[in-house]
Amino acid sequence: MHDFPQPIERTRNSDFPYKFKITDDYTHQTNWKLNQAFIAEWLEISQDGLVTVKANQSGFAWDGCTPKVSIFHFFILGTPDGHVNYRTMKPYTYFASMVHDALYQYLDTIPITKADVDLLFLDMLEGFKPRKLYYFAVKYGGGRAIVQKGLRHD
């Protein structure tokens, strides 16, 4: 196994409204096949495509679907995360937005294309009525300035 270089630390304004936090690792199986595993502080992708978002000691936190802004610490204004799915008791976009945010955090170094990351987001939004609208937003609006250095061109 190879430890990929850690990307530049990305900081956010202290008022940034994180909405969700996991305290246990979360895994999602994809159909991706890698030559070697990708291992970083908050994310792991095994050779057989198992994506693990790592909680670590402090927990992995994210803002759900973006953009969002905190208004005077009273409420959060931004992209809705959907109502609670009775099967999971989480908003419909909860798992898809978590995995997508973790993958985008390392988008400059993971050996997965942005297009494949965005398609995974669409797939994970199964059952969410406006899923194609959200997919369109990440496909054309997300990660536009990121150069993907981790891609292998076999």
pLDDT in tens, 80-129: 999 999 999 999 999 999 999 999 999 999 999 999 999 999 999 999 99
Longest pairwise C-alpha distance within the chain: 51
- Residue 4 predicted with pLDDT over 70: no
Q: What is the pLDDT of residue 154?
A: 45
- For residue 146, the model assigns a pLDDT of 86
> Could you tell me if residue 1 is inside a domain?
no
Residue 40 within any structural domain of the chain = yes
Looking at every residue in the chain, the average pLDDT score rounds to 88
Domain-embedded: residue 148: no
Looking up tokens 């000691």, which residue turns up?
57
Domain assignment present for residue 8? The answer is: no
Return contacts of 115-122, CB within 8 angstroms, 24+ apart: 115/139, 116/32, 118/142, 120/30, 120/51, 121/96, 121/97
| Residue at 121 is within a domain | yes
In a domain, 150, yes or no: no
Closest CA to 88 of 60, 126, 119: 126
Cβ neighbour number for residue 57 with a 10 Å cutoff: 5
Q: How confident is the model at residue 8 (pLDDT cuts 50, 70, 90)?
A: very low
**Domain with 90 in it:** 15-141
Q: Compare 95 and 67 and report the one with higher pLDDT.
A: 95
Q: State the pLDDT confidence band at 47, using cuts at 50, 70 and 90.
A: very high
Domain presence at residue 151: no
Does 146 map to a domain?
no
Percent of the chain with pLDDT over 70: 87
How many independent structural domains does the chain possess? 1
Residues 6+ apart with CB under 8 A from 68: 17, 19, 76, 77, 78, 79
CA distances from 98 to 26, 36, 91, 119 (A): 9, 23, 11, 14
Report the predicted TM-score, pTM, of the whole model to 2 decimal places.
0.86
Phi then psi for 139, rounded to 5 degrees?
A: -65, -45
